[in-house]
Amino acid sequence: MGAPLGGILSDGIGWRWAFILQTPLTALAALIVTLALNSDVPQASPPSSPSPTRWASNLRKVDFLGALTLVLAVFTLLIAVDRGSNVAWRDTTTLACLLLSLSLSVAFIYIEMRVARHPFAPGHVIFDRSLFASYACNFFAMASLHGLHVLHPPVSTDRGRDVRHCSWDPPRAGDALLGGGDVAGTAVVFVCSGPAVSDTWGVILGLGVAAFGAGAAITTTLINVIANASAQDQAIATACSYLFRSLGSVVGISLAATVVQQSLRTRLIETLDSGEEADRIVEGVRKSLEFIKELEPAVGTLVRECYQLATNAAFGLGVALIVCSW
């Protein structure tokens, strides 16, 4: 229900509400779990006394420092790539955020390997030869797939389809096909979104094949993690698999949006011979593709062509990322 509901909200009261309304729904889910979940766990021997020191001791085992470091590393990376495509890659803030993100990433690895008593991403698990390949595959596959998904609704709406109709496309139809479908599907999306071949249904077909292949890859890598992790590390090894998937999704979406904005701005500047006008158009298109309809017909056609080439460049990035997952 989430995908079509999000499309209906985007076409109706605005895409921001598709995110805002998740807050009360999440709060409702937390309330239901709090009230309905039976959390009474049978114990072999009851504790002598329910002292608050035991709760505090368990809380100290949580790796808050590692989690905070990882969040800040990803946060500064997202700021850097967004500012780089919107302002300048040589901007002081952009370079500072990139350097800070790299430093925090190194610090995160050090914390997980040397500092944290109970790390959620221990080094002996992540850097295990039999597990690291699966984690890297998850990261790059999710980065490519979510980069394609986040660009598909704008491409479809630019070609006359509503956002709510984009949610019914084949990527949601299943999660198992021949391995390599993710690469083949991503390549089809790239070819069908280019200047030579422009076919919306070809893009949709490619997304479906890519999603099926990615689902097969995710299942395969998860089986590999479970099979190769030791008994005491199985839970944490499986959790690390989801960690890399989430990181890949966030980074992939950010990189895809950055490539589109950078490519669109560069092509508009070359075509319009006006940096200020190009920045104004990029900012308008970034907020809503409806902005194109407000432009003069000749300029609007030009912007559509540049936007198509920009999204094609982002799909090319998706091809490169999915190849890395192999």
* DSSP assignments along 15-71, one per residue: HHHHHHTHHHHHHHHHHHHHHH-------SS--S---HHHHHHHHHTS-HHHHHHHH
Contact predicate 13/182, CB 8 Å: no
DSSP 8-state code for residue 90: T
Range with the poorest average pLDDT among 107-116, 147-156, 225-234, 306-315: 147-156
User: 258 vs 199, which has greater pLDDT?
Assistant: 258
Q: pLDDT value at position 182?
A: 58
Q: For residues 275 and 303, give the distance between their C-alpha atoms in angstroms, rounded to a whole number.
A: 14
Q: pLDDT value at position 70?
A: 96
Q: pLDDT value at position 18?
A: 73
Q: pLDDT value at position 312?
A: 84
Q: Is the pLDDT of residue 164 over 50?
A: no
User: 20 vs 39, which has greater pLDDT?
Assistant: 20
Average pLDDT over residues 97-114: 96
Q: For residues 211 and 145, give the distance between their C-alpha atoms in angstroms, rounded to a whole number.
A: 7
Q: Where are the domains of the chain?
A: 61-120, 127-326
Give every CB contact of residue 9 below 8 A, 6+ residues apart in sequence.
15, 17, 18, 21
Q: For residues 256 and 317, give the distance between their C-alpha atoms in angstroms, rounded to a whole number.
A: 7
- The class of domain 127-326 in CATH terms is mainly alpha
Range with the poorest average pLDDT among 30-34, 159-163, 253-257: 159-163
Which among 144, 75, 77 is positioned nearest to 325, based on CA atoms? 144
Range with the poorest average pLDDT among 117-131, 145-159, 253-267: 145-159
Q: pLDDT value at position 165?
A: 45
Q: pLDDT-based confidence at 195, cuts 50/70/90?
A: low
Q: For residues 123 and 111, give the distance between their C-alpha atoms in angstroms, rounded to a whole number.
A: 9
Q: Is the pLDDT of residue 26 over 70?
A: yes
Q: pLDDT value at position 46?
A: 54
User: 190 vs 247, which has greater pLDDT?
Assistant: 247
H-type helices in 87-199, by residue range?
Answer: 92-110, 123-126, 129-158, 163-166, 181-192
Q: For residues 188 and 183, give the distance between their C-alpha atoms in angstroms, rounded to a whole number.
A: 9
- Could you read off the pLDDT of 260-297 as tens digits, one per residue? 888 888 888 888 776 677 778 878 877 777 788 888 88
Ranges 2-6, 108-112, 162-166, 311-315, most confident: 108-112
Average pLDDT over residues 243-248: 94
Q: pLDDT value at position 3?
A: 65
198 bridge partner residues: 193
Q: Is the pLDDT of residue 154 over 70?
A: no
Q: pLDDT-based confidence at 162, cuts 50/70/90?
A: very low
Q: Is the pLDDT of residue 11 over 60?
A: yes
Contact predicate 106/76, CB 8 Å: no
User: 230 vs 170, which has greater pLDDT?
Assistant: 230
Q: pLDDT value at position 167?
A: 43
Which among 135, 180, 140 is positioned nearest to 325, based on CA atoms? 140
Count of all residues that appear for the chain in the document: 326
Average pLDDT over residues 63-90: 92
| Phi then psi dihedrals of residue 252, to 5 deg | -65, -45
Q: Is the pLDDT of residue 65 over 90?
A: yes
Q: Is the pLDDT of residue 194 over 70?
A: no
Q: pLDDT value at position 59?
A: 82
Q: Report CA 216 to chain centroid distance, whole Å.
A: 18
Q: pLDDT value at position 172?
A: 38
What's this model's pTM, rounded to 2 decimal places? 0.76
Contact predicate 315/148, CB 8 Å: yes
Give every CB contact of residue 150 below 8 A, 6+ residues apart in sequence.
253, 256, 257
Range with the poorest average pLDDT among 14-18, 208-212, 288-292: 14-18
